[in-house]
Every structure is written in structure tokens, then in C-alpha cells.
Amino acid sequence: MPVKSKILGFDMDGVIVDNSQLKLKIAKSLGFNLAPFQTPAEIIKKIMAPEMLRKLQLAIYHNPLISIEAPLMPGIVSLLGEISSAKIPYFLISRRLEPEIAIGLLKKRGIWPKYFNESNALFVITPEDKNTNAKRLGVTHYVDDETKILSVLEDVPNKFLFDHLNVFPESNNYTKVASHEELAKYFL
Ligand SMILES: [Mg+2]
């Protein structure tokens, strides 16, 4: 057992899976030539009009044939391996509205059911649901790629912003990490 008992929580999109290339491709098909640094959820929504953004989200999160193309974030498999070897409890808390599509992608990438499965994966609706569930599960450390999610996780003591493109500012509200190797320093 770890010296201090941690319970870890992971967001899925932008943390476990990397949708940035898919976003570039779909945005391009909608007439937007974006750069990779413009793909994080909180930045792209300032660039694309709501109806265009909706089309992009429908493609990436609701179309199983497109969703399945997303690769894993580099380093996540080794981090999950180390976390499981260390017997640190961990959970996936995602706002994917169609869990079967999310699970299909995780299966395809080889991390379901090996690292995530029905016993440690939760699919919720609102940012507040993430906080409620994190609290119920006793999550001590949570990683997300959206600052607005971290800002509602009032009951999680240690919050991490996964910012692999290094586009967000430092903040007192979270610890910024740019890779899973860096996250490992806090999660292991
Ligand atoms: Mg996310």
C-alpha cells in the first residue's frame, strides 16, 4: 500500500485519449483551419460557432466510426500499469453521453477491461456530477483537461490540469502537467 493513501480519478477525453488530430480533421471538413494549440475544448469553443462546434462534437463523440480513430495520449498505458502495480485505486469519471462508444474506443486501444472496466468507470452528465461522484468515491487526486471542470471539483483536494499542448496559465486552483510522465510524479 502507498504510504499516504491516494485515490485517483481520470477524465477520458484530452487525458486518456487524444482527440486533437481528429478535431483538426473534422474542423477542416467544416471549413476551419485550426492549429493544434486551438484544439483544447475550452479554446475551440471560442473559435467555432455553437452550431459548428456541435457538428464537430457529434462526429468525435457520437459517431462510432469517427470516435474509434482517436489514439491514446502518450504515456497513459505505462502510467496505468504502474498505478495498478502499486495497487493505488483509480477511477474513470467521464461525461461521455454514449458510454458504449467510449468503451468501444477503450477496448480497441487495449485498456478496457485491462485497466478500466465496469468496476471503476463512471459516465456522468454534468461537471457537478464529477464532483459528487469523486466525493462519494473518496478521490484525492483528479486530472482533467478543462479548467471549468477542475473549478467545480470542490471536494477533491488535489486537482491537475492535463495541458499537453501547454496553452493554459498556471493557477492556484490546480497543478498543471504537460505529460503523463509528469503526472506520474504526483499520482504514484
Ligand atoms: Mg476532457
**What is the 95 CA–ligand 1 centroid distance (Å)?**
8
**What is the 87 CA–ligand 1 centroid distance (Å)?**
25
In angstroms, the CA 155 to CA 132 distance is 8
**Bridge partner residues of 160 (DSSP):** 143, 175
Specify the pLDDT at position 65.
97
pLDDT bin (cut points 50, 70, 90) of residue 116 is very high
pLDDT bin (cut points 50, 70, 90) of residue 3 is low
**What is the 160 CA–ligand 1 centroid distance (Å)?**
12
Specify the pLDDT at position 102.
98
Query: Quick one: cell of 100?
Result: 458504449
What mean pLDDT comes out for the span 61-87? 98
Inform me whether the pLDDT recorded for 1 exceeds 90.
Answer: no
**What is the 147 CA–ligand 1 centroid distance (Å)?**
10
**What is the 3 CA–ligand 1 centroid distance (Å)?**
29
What mean pLDDT comes out for the span 45-69? 97
**What is the 15 CA–ligand 1 centroid distance (Å)?**
6
**What is the 38 CA–ligand 1 centroid distance (Å)?**
14
**What is the 148 CA–ligand 1 centroid distance (Å)?**
10
pTM: 0.96
Inform me whether the pLDDT recorded for 112 exceeds 90.
Answer: yes
Going from N- to C-terminal start, the domains of the chain cover: 8-18+71-187, 20-67
**What is the 1 CA–ligand 1 centroid distance (Å)?**
29
8-18+71-187 is classed in which CATH architecture?
A: 3-Layer(aba) Sandwich (3.40)
**What is the 145 CA–ligand 1 centroid distance (Å)?**
5
pLDDT bin (cut points 50, 70, 90) of residue 178 is very high
**What is the 75 CA–ligand 1 centroid distance (Å)?**
17
What mean pLDDT comes out for the span 93-107? 98
